[in-house]
Amino acid sequence: MRISTLIGTSLATAAAAAVGSVVTTPAVETWYPKLAKPSFVPPDWAFPVAWTALYADIAVTSAVTLDDLDENGDHGQRQRYLAALGANLVLNGGWSWIYFGRGALGTASVAAAALTVSSADLARRTAQTNPAAGAALAPYPAWCAFAAVLSTSTWWLNRGRRSPAVS
């Protein structure tokens, strides 16, 4: 893995994290604690811990994959991987804006499902190129699937209420 590739993937994942945190932090301090939540919701501290580890995982496994594709001369596949990574990170940051920024819990559930599919696709693409990196990325779609269930359950428990972000 080249350091320049790791810097690039790290900056991309950090940008997605930053975009999400801009709206997440104020919501967590205001309306989010007032929502009804399912019994299986993790403690608040678990989310930044999990996401920090997952963003680092995405950065490293993506850098390994991109460099492997480059070394194999598969530039077309490398471009498709970059597009999949970019789309995934946009969905990732976008979910935060929909959920925490707009308080659109139902729409956020759909976005979380799309993020889960995108994350599984990214892990699949990674595993095709480097099975070890693909295995290392497997927690990402698993966490996204859990987040989709959590998001949908929270929406269900709060359906019919006015959007919490504008209350």
Domain boundaries, the chain: 3-32+48-166
Q: What was the pLDDT predicted at 162?
A: 76
CATH number of 3-32+48-166: 1.20.1260
State how far the Cα of 42 lies from the Cα of 61, in Å rounded to an integer.
Answer: 26
Helix axes 46-71, 105-129, angle to 10 degrees: 40
State how far the Cα of 123 lies from the Cα of 136, in Å rounded to an integer.
Answer: 9
Q: What was the pLDDT predicted at 91?
A: 98
This prediction's pTM: 0.92
Give counts: helices (H), strands (E), the chain. 6, 0
Residue 31: φ, ψ to 5°: -85, -25
121 Cβ neighbours under 8 A, 6+ residues apart: 84, 88
Q: Which residue would you say has higher pLDDT here, 165 or 47? A: 47
